[in-house]
């Protein structure tokens, strides 16, 4: 009987000892509903031509898993309470006092395509100290994104020379007063605003549509990726504009043909347009001549996408831009084609 | 002169009125009339020297064909004609024992026999534990109606095999697949694991894993088992869903009123990790009551093993090399119990439980060199996985006047729980070059110090958990009706079974990328766990420490962005629910005609399966387009005729032949209707709920001669003709869905389909015996077996295209090794014993590639193990075991045998301790 007692006792002890090896050094991650909402800067940067009088940045909520399960790629789930977000101009170059450049600030959000919070006199209680660059703004409940717009001095950088130095500033989110909301801000990302030099390639240019050679070259160059451009007749075209913006190339063909559009309840007659856009991959911005490359994807009929790329050189002489590009798309490519554009 | 020792007693018996069971009366009418004039002999055969039951002993009535064999408890029973009879009891290693018994009609006579070893009277020959185990196994094997191999617990204990899979590797024709050097899956006779079913105490157990049916046998500790049976030819009373073989794991039960307390405690050492391990077992068994009516056996064991591996992997097409540094802690917990109650000599009931839990904590630290991308990735994975199997069997056995009845209900549940599976990856833009001049150890040259953690930027952090559940509820009964035709004994047997299975798999996956601000890897560096990696051939530097990354993640969630579409896709694609209902019935007869035994019958099985899963559709632009619920179901029936012949050339020699029909169900991963429709790549992978099981006709021949001094020499041939063989077929430019209104007009669909035939043939030979016939080797024994297997299957050619989709090619079946064998030499002295064992697995096709050149093979492997023991006294014994003494790696190659794509080294590991039997 003694043996039995000892055996049963040992068996119990053994069974207890024989539990799994403790999962030591395991940190439970805060995922699922424990993962907080994130407020982040909507864009990494933006730029405006040097005589522009404003710029803005946006603060947005990051997509989450759709609680309704409808949006597979996720969607923004707005906050249930208003929180207060703090931000700061953390660095600037090309000027010494922030207040010399930024004159005023306001904050708003879009209620729909035609209405903003400003229109409805909704105050986001923006506070911005031009001296320190520190600011705070309400991020209201039920809102996906807010925009903070700065009024700037259009004369500060508006010169007639090609600038060799940067003129820019950067903004970061610094914290959030979350109250009962489980929300954090990304404090590492920055929004960089750059003053674009209109003596460089940045800015708008026009193609002389009466120059049959230039018009044909434009068609040959961009007809590669756009069937409408390929079939253009000069008689159908009102004007052709080419623009180099912050991070983007844009060519707009304004047609003579018009259409009626509904803009916030008002019907307007506008010219039809053909737009060609590409993200800038390479661009020499501190020189009057240099390399340029832009590319993008084009959606196909079946929903798939194919990439196009244009690369070449540019040369600015006075008000003229000589743009020599070679296009590649869908195993086809153009020869190097030179467009001469007028500023 | 050996003394015959026996105890016999007569009991008046009570026979239940069988006529009340109307549905059986019709079938059994004729035989019950014959039974009215017969008596029953029942008893137990034990060993005098070791006071142990003798399993597999033959008991026969002299001058007749009436015979039977003892079961695992050493018990037997059979129906005989009344009168004064001489019974002969025969057991390998023991002298034949003849007993005179007077049997009265309609009465039960109990004849218990205590036998004396023939070897114990020979000078200097020691009966050891191993010989006892071998004798038990061989006696059962010899008396079995079908072709089977049996390993007894004592025999398992003499090999250094900690789990059931590794114990099975010693059986002829069995090949095992290893994970981190430890045996895991079992293939029988050249057929992959899904062609073999696994049972505990005669009833199938579910698989803890999500996508397969077969059980990872490293989850079952061998110390829980009384024996393992591998049936290579099925009888109609067995489940018919096994083509390679059927594995039955039998747990232990109490044998006598004397308490049995045995077990061991020990430790161990893993040379690669330079770490120890611990283990122990404790078993208690006893029978209680005046007539030892109530038996209790409780068994527990625990094994914690710290192990690891050093591996190099190569992706040929992508020109990539991975260095993989594994560190693992594995535990195996086994708890089992058997409660049985013998109401009287006619009726008994039992309740058996088995719970096993296998846990695996794994850290995988690796570099991925990607010269084409001019990148090097550095990753660490930290994962915990537990596999639990619970089996509860309750049943009873009855001996009635004219028939035998047993029935059982089983609840079994298996679960694989992965509460965390975390992996973080960082990337450095470091160009590198790879040189494969030395195919075994690729040379890596990087432009910068690739161990410099400050160069690695955060890529992604994946954190997931999964749970797979599989539940079986089974009920069955068997009725045996003895009869006699022209003086020859026979047994008519029939029975039925129902089984309901529910299986499910759910996954949660959260993968985060850098939203901005996550620092480089040097902020998350840990310390190396090994002094040298791959013997110092490669530098691993300071590894990425996952807890540091997750701590940072928790503290700075604003810097991480959840990949929502990936989450939706991963979770939908892999999760599923399935249910499977099986109804089976059989009828069989076993007839002894002089020296020939014929067993023939038919089994019917009907299976109804239903599945719920989800389609994942990827849009042409690569976006997640839709997730749609889908369901599938199918019903299939099998009628499985089976016939076995066993001819006793003499009392120690059998010739066997069998022709049996069987089948194997598809893996769940092949039939669940989950689908990935990738319109971006124009590829779809879809399940096939209508997939039919593989059916087979199996032909077996076997000759076996047993040595009276315990041993066997045997040779056999087998041929299996497989129909509806499952293979993955590509249908080019197919509409999708394949039925109904298409939403996609042209897409290449990969789907498992039936249609092709395959053949497997082979031969196996085995020899084992004590070398007592050679005077100077009388304490040595030899254990040898070898199996040759050949297979061919015809599949859709990998060169097929939309123009010639019906082009076929012939391949070898995945998992089939041409050569499999074992060799073992043992010394068994009075106190000291030692054994060296070799296990050889030939190379086999592991994965069918997109082209023949992409086929992946596992290279042949020979493992050398050794074990030794010293008996301090009758109660305590020291033991030491050493495995993988020659540091045999796992090696995979692609295309040709010198083009290695994986080499993984484990070094050797040891176990030692003391065994006791109080």
The structure tokens listed for B492 are 């008519």
Percentage of chain B exceeding pLDDT 90: 55
Q: What mean pLDDT comes out for the span B245-259? A: 89
The structure tokens listed for B889 are 């790696």
* CB contact (8 A) between residue B280 and residue A63: no
The SS3 assignment for A3 reads helix
For tokens 């002298």, the residue is B95
Which pLDDT score is estimated for B30?
A: 41
- B98 falls in which pLDDT band (50, 70, 90)? confident
User: How far from B847 is each of A178, B630, B858, CA to CA, in Å?
Assistant: 53, 28, 9
Which pLDDT score is estimated for B152?
A: 83
- Residue B71 has a CB neighbour count (10 Å cut-off) of 16
Which pLDDT score is estimated for B132?
A: 65
Task: Find, among B481, B404, B407, B347, the residue nearest to B203 by Cα.
Answer: B407
What predicted TM-score, i.e. pTM, was given to this entire model?
0.87
Per the DSSP assignment, residues forming a β-bridge with B254 are none
> Beta strand B861-871 with B832-841: parallel, antiparallel or unpaired?
antiparallel
Nearest CA in chain A to B264: A14
Q: Residues of B numbered 354-383 whose beta carbons fall under 8 angstroms of chain A's beta carbons: which are they?
A: 357, 359, 361, 382
Question: What burial class does residue B631 get, using C-beta atoms within 10 Å of its C-beta: 0-12 exposed, 13-18 middle, 19+ buried?
Answer: exposed
Query: What is the spatial distance between Cα B753 and Cα B689, in angstroms, rounded to a whole number?
Result: 10
The structure tokens listed for B277 are 């391990």
All domains in chain B, ordered by first residue: 250-917 (2.40.170.20)
* Mutation target vs B (from A59, A62, A72, A306; most B CBs, 10 A cutoff): A72
A11 to chain B, closest Cα gap in Å: 6
> Beta strand B58-61 with A266-283: parallel, antiparallel or unpaired?
unpaired
Backbone φ and ψ for A10, nearest 5 degrees, come out as -60, -40
Query: What is the spatial distance between Cα B916 and Cα B918, in angstroms, rounded to a whole number?
Result: 6
- The residue with greater pLDDT, B22 or B761, is B761
For residues B266 and B276, is the Cβ–Cβ distance under 8 A?
A: no
* CB contact (8 A) between residue A188 and residue B516: yes
Query: What is the spatial distance between Cα A244 and Cα A239, in angstroms, rounded to a whole number?
Result: 17
Helix (H) or strand (E) holding A13: helix A2-17
The structure tokens listed for B738 are 């394949």
The SS3 assignment for B908 reads coil
Tell me, rounded to whole angstroms, the distance of Cα B679 from its chain centroid: 40
Structural class in CATH, domain A35-196: mainly beta
Which pLDDT score is estimated for B527?
A: 93
Q: What mean pLDDT comes out for the span B218-247? A: 91
* CB contact (8 A) between residue B517 and residue A186: yes
- Ranges in chain A, pLDDT < 70: 1-22
The structure tokens listed for B319 are 């020109």
Query: What is the spatial distance between Cα B262 and Cα B160, in angstroms, rounded to a whole number?
Result: 18
Q: Which of A38-52, A247-261, B31-45, B378-392 has the lowest mean pLDDT?
A: B31-45
**Nearest Cβ partner for B564 among A21, A30, A63:** A63
Q: Which of A81-90, B280-289, B449-458, B723-732 has the lowest mean pLDDT?
A: B723-732
Residues in chain A within 8 Å Cβ distance of B301: 18
For residues B265 and B280, is the Cβ–Cβ distance under 8 A?
A: yes
Residues in chain A within 8 Å Cβ distance of B259: 3-4, 7
Which pLDDT score is estimated for B50?
A: 64
For tokens 């009869």, the residue is B483
Compute, in degrees rounded to 10, the torsion defined by CA atoms B70, B76, B81, B86: 60
Burial B219-234 (b: 16+ CB within 10 A, else e): bbbbbbbbbbbbbbbb
Backbone φ and ψ for A166, nearest 5 degrees, come out as -75, 150
The structure tokens listed for B592 are 């002894």
Task: Find, among B661, B663, B664, B660, the residue nearest to B701 by Cα.
Answer: B660
For residues B242 and B197, is the Cβ–Cβ distance under 8 A?
A: yes
Give tens-digit pLDDT for B533-592.
Answer: 999 999 999 999 999 999 999 999 999 999 999 899 889 888 899 999 999 999 999 998
Give tens-digit pLDDT for A251-266.
Answer: 999 999 999 998 888 8
* CB contact (8 A) between residue B515 and residue A25: no
Q: Residues of A numbered 310-339 whose beta carbons fall under 8 angstroms of chain B's beta carbons: which are they?
A: none
- Residue B780 has a CB neighbour count (10 Å cut-off) of 17
- Residue B617 has a CB neighbour count (10 Å cut-off) of 21
Dihedral over Cα of B622, B626, B627, B630: its sign: negative
For residues B782 and B748, is the Cβ–Cβ distance under 8 A?
A: no
User: How far from B15 is each of A18, A201, B402, CA to CA, in Å?
Assistant: 47, 108, 8
The structure tokens listed for A325 are 């590009």
- The residue with greater pLDDT, B654 or B153, is B654
Task: Find, among B912, B835, B831, the residue nearest to B879 by Cα.
Answer: B912
Which pLDDT score is estimated for B755?
A: 66
The structure tokens listed for B530 are 């090994």
Within 8 A by CB and 6+ apart from B701, the residues are B656, B657, B716, B717, B718
Query: Has residue B127 got a pLDDT over 50?
Result: no
Which pLDDT score is estimated for A11?
A: 57
- B118 falls in which pLDDT band (50, 70, 90)? low
* CB contact (8 A) between residue A65 and residue B564: yes
In DSSP notation, A243-296 reads: EEETTEEEEEEEEEEEEEEEETTEEEEEEEEEEEEEEEEEE--SSSEEEEEEEE
Query: What is the spatial distance between Cα B599 and Cα B659, in angstroms, rounded to a whole number?
Result: 11
Q: Is some CB atom of chain A closer than 8 A to the CB atom of B744?
A: no
In DSSP notation, B159-182 reads: TT--BHHHHHTTSTTEEEEEETTE
- The residue with greater pLDDT, B77 or B349, is B349
In DSSP notation, A90-112 reads: EEEES-S-HHHHEEEEEEE-EEE
The SS3 assignment for B156 reads helix
- What DSSP designation does B531 have? S
- Residue A135 has a CB neighbour count (10 Å cut-off) of 21
The residue ranges of every structural domain in chain A are 35-196, 203-342
Nearest CA in chain A to B616: A72
For residues B185 and B216, is the Cβ–Cβ distance under 8 A?
A: yes
For tokens 């090896």, the residue is A21
For residues B180 and B216, is the Cβ–Cβ distance under 8 A?
A: no
Task: Find, among B223, B218, B240, B222, the residue nearest to B231 by Cα.
Answer: B240
The SS3 assignment for B842 reads coil
Give tens-digit pLDDT for B638-652.
Answer: 999 999 999 999 988
Compute, in degrees rounded to 10, the torsion defined by CA atoms B16, B20, B26, B30: 30
**Nearest Cβ partner for A25 among B259, B300, B547:** B547
The structure tokens listed for B213 are 């049916």
Burial A257-290 (b: 16+ CB within 10 A, else e): eeeeeeeeeeeeeeeeebebebebbebebeeeeb
The SS3 assignment for B579 reads strand
Q: Residues of A numbered 30-49 whose beta carbons fall under 8 angstroms of chain B's beta carbons: which are they?
A: 30-32, 35-36, 38-40
Query: What is the spatial distance between Cα B785 and Cα B375, in angstroms, rounded to a whole number?
Result: 50
Terminal Cα distance for chain A, rounded: 106
Backbone φ and ψ for A74, nearest 5 degrees, come out as 90, 170
Backbone φ and ψ for A331, nearest 5 degrees, come out as 65, 10
Q: What mean pLDDT comes out for the span B36-53? A: 77
The structure tokens listed for B810 are 């012939």
Q: What is the mean pLDDT of chain B?
A: 87
Which pLDDT score is estimated for A19?
A: 52
For residues B908 and B883, is the Cβ–Cβ distance under 8 A?
A: yes
Q: What mean pLDDT comes out for the span B411-440? A: 96
Nearest CA in chain A to B278: A18
- The residue with greater pLDDT, B531 or B270, is B270
The structure tokens listed for B112 are 């218990």
Q: Is some CB atom of chain B closer than 8 A to the CB atom of A304?
A: yes
Query: Has residue B862 got a pLDDT over 50?
Result: yes
Helix (H) or strand (E) holding B23: helix B22-35
Q: Could you tell me the strand order of the sheet in which A83-93 lies? A: A45-49, A191-196, A168-177, A83-93, A134-139, A127-128
Residues in chain B within 8 Å Cβ distance of A304: 620-621, 679-680
Q: Is some CB atom of chain A closer than 8 A to the CB atom of B568?
A: yes
Pick left, alpha or beta for residue A156 (phi over 0 → left; psi -120 to 50 → alpha; otherwise beta).
alpha
B768 to chain A, closest Cα gap in Å: 37
Give tens-digit pLDDT for A227-254.
Answer: 999 999 999 999 999 999 999 999 999 9
Dihedral over Cα of B198, B201, B207, B208: its sign: negative
For residues B517 and B559, is the Cβ–Cβ distance under 8 A?
A: yes
Query: Has residue B3 got a pLDDT over 60?
Result: no
For residues B788 and B735, is the Cβ–Cβ distance under 8 A?
A: no
- B32 falls in which pLDDT band (50, 70, 90)? very low
């Amino acid at each position: 009987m003694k043996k039995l007692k000892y055996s049963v006792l040992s068996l119990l002890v053994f069974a207890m000892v024989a539990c799994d090896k403790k999962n030591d050094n395991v940190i439970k991650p805060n995922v699922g509903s424990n993962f907080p909402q994130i407020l982040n800067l909507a864009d990494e940067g933006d730029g405006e031509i040097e005589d522009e009088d404003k710029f803005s940045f946006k603060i947005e909520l990051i997509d989450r898993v759709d609680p309704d399960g409808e949006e597979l790629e996720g969607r923004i789930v707005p906050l249930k309470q208003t929180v207060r977000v703090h931000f700061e101009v953390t660095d600037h170059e090309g000027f010494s006092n922030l207040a010399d450049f930024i004159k005023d600030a306001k904050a708003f959000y879009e209620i729909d395509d035609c209405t903003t919070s400003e229109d409805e006199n909704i105050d986001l209680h923006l506070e911005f100290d031009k001296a320190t660059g520190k600011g705070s703004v309400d991020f209201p409940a039920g809102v996906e994104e807010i925009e903070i717009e700065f009024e700037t001095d259009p004369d500060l950088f508006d010169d007639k020379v090609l600038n060799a130095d940067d003129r820019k500033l950067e903004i970061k989110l610094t914290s959030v007063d979350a109250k009962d909301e489980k929300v954090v801000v990304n404090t590492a990302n920055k929004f960089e605003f750059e003053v674009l030099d209109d003596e460089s390639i940045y800015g708008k240019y026009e193609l002389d549509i009466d120059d049959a050679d230039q018009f044909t070259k434009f068609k040959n160059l961009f007809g590669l990726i756009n069937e409408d451009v390929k079939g253009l007749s000069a008689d159908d075209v009102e004007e052709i504009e080419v623009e180099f913006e912050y991070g983007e190339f844009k060519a707009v063909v304004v047609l003579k043909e018009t259409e009626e559009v509904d803009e916030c309840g008002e019907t307007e007659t506008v010219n039809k347009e053909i737009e060609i856009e590409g993200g800038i991959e390479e661009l020499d911005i501190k020189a009057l001549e240099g390399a340029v490359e832009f590319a993008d994807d084009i959606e196909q009929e079946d929903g798939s996408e194919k990439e196009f790329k244009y690369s070449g050189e540019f040369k600015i002489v006075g008000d003229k831009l000589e743009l020599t590009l070679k296009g590649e798309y869908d195993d086809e490519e153009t020869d190097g084609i030179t467009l001469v554009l007028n500023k | 002169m050996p003394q015959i020792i026996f105890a016999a007693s007569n009991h008046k018996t009570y026979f239940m009125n069988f006529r009340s069971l109307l549905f059986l009366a019709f079938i059994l009418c004729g035989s019950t009339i014959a039974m009215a004039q017969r008596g029953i002999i029942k008893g137990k055969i034990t060993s005098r020297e070791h006071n142990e039951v003798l399993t597999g002993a033959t008991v026969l009535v002299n001058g007749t064909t009436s015979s039977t064999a003892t079961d695992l408890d050493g018990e037997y029973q059979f129906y005989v004609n009344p009168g004064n009879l001489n019974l002969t009891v025969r057991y390998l290693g023991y002298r034949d024992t003849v007993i005179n018994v007077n049997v009265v009609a309609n009465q039960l006579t109990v004849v218990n026999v205590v036998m004396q070893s023939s070897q114990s009277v020979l000078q200097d020959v020691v009966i050891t534990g191993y010989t006892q185990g071998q004798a038990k196994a061989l006696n059962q094997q010899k008396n079995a109606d079908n072709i089977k191999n049996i390993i007894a617990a004592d025999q398992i204990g003499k090999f250094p095999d900690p789990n059931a899979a590794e114990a099975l590797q010693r059986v002829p024709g069995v090949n095992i697949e290893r994970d981190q050097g430890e045996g895991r899956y079992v293939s029988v006779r050249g057929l992959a694991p899904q062609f073999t079913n696994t049972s505990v105490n005669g009833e199938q157990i579910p698989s803890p894993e999500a996508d397969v049916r077969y059980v990872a046998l490293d989850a079952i500790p061998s110390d829980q088992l009384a024996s393992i049976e591998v049936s290579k030819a099925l009888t109609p009373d067995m489940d018919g869903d096994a083509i390679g073989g059927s594995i039955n794991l039998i747990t232990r039960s109490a044998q006598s009123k004397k308490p049995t307390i045995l077990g061991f405690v020990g430790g161990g050492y893993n040379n690669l990790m330079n770490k120890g391990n611990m283990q122990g077992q404790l078993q208690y068994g006893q029978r209680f009551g005046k007539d030892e009516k109530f038996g209790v056996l409780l068994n527990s064991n625990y094994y914690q093993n710290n192990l690891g591996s050093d591996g190099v992997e190569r992706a040929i097409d992508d020109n990539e090399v991975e260095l993989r540094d594994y560190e693992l802690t594995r535990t195996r917990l086994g708890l089992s119990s058997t409660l049985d109650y013998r109401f009287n000599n006619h009726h008994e009931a039992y309740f058996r439980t088995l719970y096993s839990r296998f846990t695996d904590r794994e850290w995988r630290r690796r570099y991925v060199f990607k010269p084409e991308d001019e990148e090097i990735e550095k990753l660490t994975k930290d994962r915990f996985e537990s596999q639990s199997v619970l089996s509860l069997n309750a049943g009873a056995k009855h001996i009635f006047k004219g028939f035998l009845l047993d029935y059982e209900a089983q609840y079994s549940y298996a679960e694989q729980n992965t509460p965390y599976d975390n992996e973080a990856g960082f990337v450095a833009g470091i160009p590198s070059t790879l040189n494969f001049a030395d195919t075994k150890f690729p040379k890596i040259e990087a432009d910068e110090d690739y161990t410099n953690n400050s160069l690695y930027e955060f890529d992604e952090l994946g954190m997931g958990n999964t749970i797979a559940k599989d539940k079986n509820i089974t009920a069955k009964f068997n009725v045996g009706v003895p009869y006699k035709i022209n003086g020859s004994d026979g047994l008519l047997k029939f029975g039925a079974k129902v089984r309901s299975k529910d299986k499910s798999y759910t996954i949660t996956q959260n993968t985060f990328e850098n939203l901005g601000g996550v620092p480089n890897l040097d902020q998350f560096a840990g310390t190396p766990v090994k002094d040298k990696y791959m013997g110092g051939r490669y530098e691993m530097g300071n590894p990425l420490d996952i807890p540091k990354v997750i701590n940072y993640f928790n503290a700075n969630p604003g810097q991480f962005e959840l990949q929502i579409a990936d989450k939706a896709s991963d979770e939908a694609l892999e999760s599923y629910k399935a249910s499977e209902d099986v109804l089976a019935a059989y009828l069989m007869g076993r007839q002894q005609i002089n020296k020939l035994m014929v067993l023939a019958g038919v089994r019917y099985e009907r299976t109804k399966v239903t599945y719920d899963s989800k389609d994942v559709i990827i849009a042409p632009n690569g976006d997640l387009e839709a997730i749609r619920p889908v369901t599938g179901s199918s019903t299939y029936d099998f009628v499985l005729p089976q016939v076995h012949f066993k001819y006793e050339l003499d009392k120690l020699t059998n010739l066997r032949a069998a022709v049996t029909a069987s089948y194997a169900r598809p893996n769940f991963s092949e039939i669940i209707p989950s689908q990935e429709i990738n319109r971006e790549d124009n590829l779809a992978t879809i399940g096939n709920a209508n997939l039919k099981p593989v059916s087979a006709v199996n032909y077996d021949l076997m000759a076996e001669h047993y040595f009276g001094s315990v041993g066997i020499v045997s040779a056999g041939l087998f041929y299996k003709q497989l129909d509806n063989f499952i293979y993955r077929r590509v249908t080019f430019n197919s509409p999708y869905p394949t039925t109904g209104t298409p939403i996609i007009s042209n897409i290449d669909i990969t789907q498992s389909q039936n249609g092709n035939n395959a053949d497997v043939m082979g031969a196996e030979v085995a020899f084992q015996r004590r070398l007592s016939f050679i005077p100077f080797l009388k304490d040595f024994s030899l254990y040898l077996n070898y199996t040759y297997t050949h297979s061919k299957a015809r599949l859709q050619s990998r060169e097929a295209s939309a123009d010639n989709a019906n082009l076929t090619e012939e391949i070898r079946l995945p998992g089939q090794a041409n050569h499999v064998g074992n060799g073992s030499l043992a010394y068994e002295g009075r106190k000291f014993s030692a054994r060296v064992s070799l296990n050889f697995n030939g190379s086999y096709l592991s994965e069918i590639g997109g082209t023949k050149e992409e086929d992946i093979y596992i290279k042949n492997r020979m493992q050398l193990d050794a074990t030794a023991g010293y008996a301090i006294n009758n109660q305590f014994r020291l033991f030491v075991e050493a495995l993988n003494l020659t540091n045999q790696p796992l090696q995979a190659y692609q295309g040709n045998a010198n083009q290695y794509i994986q080499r993984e080294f484990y070094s050797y590991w040891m176990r030692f301790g003391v065994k006791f039997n109080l």
